[in-house]
Amino acid sequence: MLVTTTKGDMDDSLLEKREGTVDNDNELTTWVEYWLEGELVHRSAHVTLKKTVTLTSSVASF
Amino acid sequence: MSQLMLGEHQLGTATLVSRTSLTAPTTDTLKAALYLVSATKDASTTVYNTTGEVSGTGYTAGGVTVTNATAPTSTNTSATAGVAFFTPSASLVYTTVTLATAFDTVLLYNSTQSNKAISVHTFGSQTITAGTFTLTMPANTTAAALIRLATT
């Protein structure tokens, strides 16, 4: 598979792949990095938002 | 909140004949801009500006256009209680960018209405290197939608 890198498109077999996940109340995030000889040449991240913006009001009756 | 009460944002599929036309519905264009960890964007932010916005290869100031095809929905649980909610109908995708300075905030704003801010959302600090940053929206439901206006 070709990966877009700072050095142009490269086959992933030439690269070291690192992945990670963060899962908390606010977000679910996954990220992937590709390294070439100790240099970061690609990093992508995918964040799924969990926390919403909520405006709350009370309705009064008369 | 005052902007919502003034009807300044027309979210989702247009159903109202409104501000800019007396004969045809209009839909506002929403955009999403990313901000650095060092920027101060919060509930007091009222308008988009470039202060603290990310910059880098492949990123255009102002961010990306938000797919704004789903109209807000409301549900009532009683005569006085209910929730109105809205979620953009597609993920926000910043394709093939390099954003070397850490960022952690996205500002959703209305570019049709003088770039007025709609909401600010934060996440864990990120950098992107020759890659893609994707923000996936939560489910557009009463409990999980991105923007909720609740009465109790």
CB proximity B121 to A under 8 Å: yes
pLDDT at residue A62 above 60? no
Q: Per residue in A17-40, pLDDT tens?
A: 999 999 999 999 999 999 999 999
Of A43, A58, A61, nearest to B127 by CB-CB distance is: A43
Q: Which residue of A has its CA nearest to B57?
A: A6
Question: What is residue B20's predicted lDDT score, i.e. its pLDDT?
Answer: 59
Range from A5-9, A26-30, B144-148 carrying the lowest mean pLDDT: B144-148
CB proximity A17 to B under 8 Å: no
The reported pTM is 0.87
Residue B109, judged by CB atoms within 10 A of its CB (0-12, 13-18, 19+), counts as buried
Complex ipTM value: 0.89
Contact: A52, B146; criterion CB under 8 Å: yes
Q: Per residue in B9-18, pLDDT tens?
A: 767 665 555 5
Question: What is residue B21's predicted lDDT score, i.e. its pLDDT?
Answer: 58
